[in-house]
């Protein structure tokens, strides 16, 4: 039995602690502070958060369900390293879900929620002028927040949970395979989607979301590559040295 197959019945306080640890680990994974393949040692995590290994195991189980952690028998838990095919499946799933969220959101959106969207767009705009890995991680996070707000406005709690998982996986995929991270193109897409929502045109917002997802996936380098030995990987470059 793997970690992901196990279930845990925790008292409420321990359950809250497990959820807190899950959120901290999720943020660290999505922000690439924990690199793909990093071993998540239960004892070490438990010491850091001053909780039992049972609580840590519950947090890791939740992340395994989300696809952000992989477990291996007799080896433990590791930060997921999604394959190109898994990355494609993530965005294929988003294409199925997000147009429906747009239709629902367009019918329900309030002036306060429009203001919240505009605040996020303003934050995205500020990040576009910053450089470096920290700024890139912040761009990816801000872009994901836009889509999570759309899911919240749509008012479907089940689909919101799905989107939380898909956005987390998308953020990891973009951090791994993205050529540029978030972009002015993506920011412009968000602005157009919000304009359609303001007009209560859910069908247009849905079509714009599909185009936006196409733009995100087009910025990924998902070519299948084979793992070479160090000598084979560097031999061509070595021949170029003076």
Residue 77 near residue 60 (C-beta atoms within 8 A): yes
* Exposed / middle / buried, residue 52 (Cβ in 10 Å: 0-12, 13-18, 19+): middle
Per-residue model confidence as pLDDT tens for the chain (242 residues): 444 444 445 677 788 899 999 988 988 887 778 888 899 999 999 999 999 999 999 999 999 988 889 988 889 999 988 999 999 999 999 999 999 999 999 999 999 999 999 999 999 888 877 777 677 778 888 889 999 999 999 999 999 999 999 998 998 898 888 876 555 456 789 999 999 999 999 999 999 999 999 999 998 988 765 544 544 544 444 444 44
């Amino acid at each position: 039995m793997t970690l992901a197959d196990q279930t845990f019945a925790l008292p409420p306080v321990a359950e809250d602690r497990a959820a807190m640890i899950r959120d901290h680990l999720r943020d660290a994974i999505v922000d690439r502070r924990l690199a793909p393949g990093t071993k998540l040692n239960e004892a070490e995590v438990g010491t850091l958060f001053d909780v039992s290994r049972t609580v840590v195991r519950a947090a890791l189980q939740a992340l395994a369900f989300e696809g952000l952690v992989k477990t291996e028998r007799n080896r433990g838990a590791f930060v997921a390293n999604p394959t190109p095919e898994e990355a494609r499946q993530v965005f294929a799933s988003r294409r199925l879900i997000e147009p429906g969220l747009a239709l629902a959101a367009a019918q329900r959106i309030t002036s306060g929620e429009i203001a919240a969207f505009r605040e996020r767009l303003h934050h995205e705009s500020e990040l576009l002028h910053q450089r470096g890995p920290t700024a890139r991680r912040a761009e990816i996070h801000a872009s994901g927040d836009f889509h999570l707000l759309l899911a919240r406005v749509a008012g479907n709690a089940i689909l919101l949970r799905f989107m939380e998982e898909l956005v987390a996986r998308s953020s990891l995929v973009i951090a791994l395979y993205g050529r540029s991270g978030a972009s002015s193109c993506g920011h412009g897409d968000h602005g157009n989607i919000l304009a359609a929502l303001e007009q209560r045109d859910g069908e247009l917002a849905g079509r714009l979301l599909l185009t936006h997802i196409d733009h995100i996936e087009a910025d990924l380098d998902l070519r299948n590559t084979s793992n070479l030995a160090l000598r084979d990987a560097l031999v061509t470059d070595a021949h170029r040295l003076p």
